[in-house]
A and B are shown apart, each in its own frame.
Chain A
Amino acid sequence: MRRTRFFLTAALAAALVTAVTTGATPTSANTKATPTATPHNDTVPVAGTFAYPQLGDHDPGVVRGVINAVVRIPHGTAVFYSLGSAQTGTAVNTGIMPTMSLDEPYSIWKFPAWSVGVLDPQGLNVYRPLVASEHGCLCSGAPDLTANSTTAFRVGWAVLPPLPKGLTRVTVDIAGGIQVPDVPVTSSMPAPTSREAAPLLGHGWPRLPSASAIESADRKQATLPVAENTSTATQSVSAQKKDVSVALNADVLFAFNKATLSPAASSTIASLAKRINADAAGAVTIVGYTDSTGDASYNQALSQQRAAAVLAALKPLVTNTRVTLTASGKGEEDPVATNDTDAGRALNRRVTVAFSKADR
């Protein structure tokens, strides 16, 4: 009996200790959790760590951070993270968390969407903070995170679109290109909830927007199709869930300044035709490009001739009746690499073949 009581006591204590150390409530996600006035939590979940140089500073300090949790919530996904810097002084007040543009790179101050994302490598999507208005997202703000960040971690948050069912692990992309892999997706909210927008670590967790605010936010801009990118000596392939773009290496297909396909091109063209026959539907768009060397009008004509040569070679091999092939040239436009180096120019000399995958 004494032994039984001992094990019962141990089991009960174990349950309590486990509950405390995991820092999670047994309930499912609840965005309406009542904030605690003076919350306190001794333990915190840690899914991954990261560090990065502070932005916009010639002598940058280091920001350290932790991904605490990725949690399924009604109509969305919450990401909790903690940030701070050991650097003292005013420099820490700039750039502790980079902003992110919704349009072009390096117009980064236009939209204060904090740089938090989740990669679904199976579904080939990246999920970013939901867009609540023209100038804001459902995520922590800069002043909230920066306050007293030299002395303690602040807990930040972002609400993303709902993740696909069955997705149990994700890669979190944070702070302008730092990836934390294999972060588990949970349905348990960390507790307790704080009244503060970005509480100090150990003083509860940020209160999230209401379920209705999350539901009404713009998901479209927060969901970005992702491409897998591979390359060989003859081609580079960029494949999204639906769309495929194959950039054929013009140096393999053609002699310098020529638009006649070389003998070495035949196997590359045959392989591409096989792929189009198996996967494609609709328009197959063939576009030629050159580097910036030489006359622009000459390059324009050369790019058109090269695209036409690829079309002529592909046509007899493509037996897929669901596709139509078109060819055009863009000359020096849309370079994919620098034209200041040999390697960059080689990447720019290409013929791209783009198509959509057939619905299965």
Chain B
Amino acid sequence: MNRARRAAVTALVAVAVAVGVAIGATGRTGSPRVHATSTPSPGTTSAAALGKWLRKGGMMPNEKPVAEARGTILNAMTGASVPVQASVLSVTVGRSTTELVWRLSSTDDSRNALNSVQLSQVPWEDTRLVGLEVPATRTTYHPYTMVPPKAVNGVASECMCSDLQILELSGTGTLMYATMPRLDAQVTSVTVTMPGFPDMPNVPVRRATGRG
């Protein structure tokens, strides 16, 4: 191997090692793990990969529910109770908060007209009342709430939780989120409570160690 060629090979190997080192370094704080259409993980990724993920479309996360319950919510226009299904996808304790992710859908593939803002508007039953009950203490944690800055009645009508912003619910449904205070370290499962639904007990609690 002549000197120039050896130098070139050395440089190539060095760059390859460097890429490995760099990926390893970023991996400690959140590595880029983006494939063509997988959900991007915290870290960095390419604009092109994000574009592919976007164009795949569809709701996410596509997770198997850890708990399900059937209930009803009100069609505010007709007064009819609409049968719906709540599917808990995850309860995750992060560094400072706990996040509940759930899906609200119709009970079959039919499309149900809601014409309702029931899940978000005072004084109807709403997502501010979604709860995580800790069995040992019988204490239920609800989403953080806020009073809008110009509210004249002082009611905490806003929350760190999703409201129902669609007019029609399908079998695919819609993802809903709620953020509560951080659960204690010894809590391994909770009962998820929702207005209009039976309680969902023994829902496992994830710990997002090293997240983000």
Closest 8 CB pairs of A and B: A86-B57, A202-B47, A13-B18, A177-B162, A103-B150, A182-B212, A229-B142, A17-B22
Query: Using a CB-CB cutoff of 8 Å, which residues 1-51 of chain A contact chain B?
Result: 2, 5-7, 9-14, 16-18, 21-23, 41-49, 51
Q: Which residues does chain B contribute within 8 Å of A357, judged by CB atoms?
A: none
Q: Which residues does chain A contribute within 8 Å of B151, judged by CB atoms?
A: 103-104
Looking at A46, A48, A232, which has the most chain B CB atoms within 10 Å of its CB? A46
Interface of B is mostly: mixed
Q: How far is the CB of B73 from chain A (nearest CB, A)?
A: 11
Q: Which residues does chain A contribute within 8 Å of B129, judged by CB atoms?
A: 337, 347
Q: Which residues does chain B contribute within 8 Å of A178, judged by CB atoms?
A: 162, 175, 177
A62-B59, A221-B150 given; A10·B17 CB < 8 A: yes
Query: Using a CB-CB cutoff of 8 Å, which residues 49-99 of chain A contact chain B?
Result: 49, 51-53, 55, 57-62, 64, 66, 82, 84-87, 98
Q: Which residues does chain B contribute within 8 Å of A229, judged by CB atoms?
A: 128, 141-145
Q: How far is the CB of B22 from chain A (nearest CB, A)?
A: 4
Is A212 close to B, CB under 8 A? no
Q: How many residues of chain B are within 8 Å of chain A by beta carbon?
A: 95
Question: CA of A15 to CA of B122 in the docked complex: distance in angstroms?
Answer: 54
Q: Which residues does chain B contribute within 8 Å of A232, judged by CB atoms?
A: 138-140
Q: Which residues does chain A contribute within 8 Å of B142, judged by CB atoms?
A: 229-231
Q: Which residues does chain A contribute within 8 Å of B159, judged by CB atoms?
A: 177
Assign chain A's interface to a size class: 35 or more
Question: CA of A338 to CA of B18 in the docked complex: distance in angstroms?
Answer: 62
A169-B95, A184-B212 given; A338·B124 CB < 8 A: yes
Is A183 close to B, CB under 8 A? yes
Q: From B120, which residue of chain A is reached at the shortest CB distance?
A: A105
Query: Using a CB-CB cutoff of 8 Å, which residues 142-157 of chain B contact chain A?
Result: 142-153, 155-157
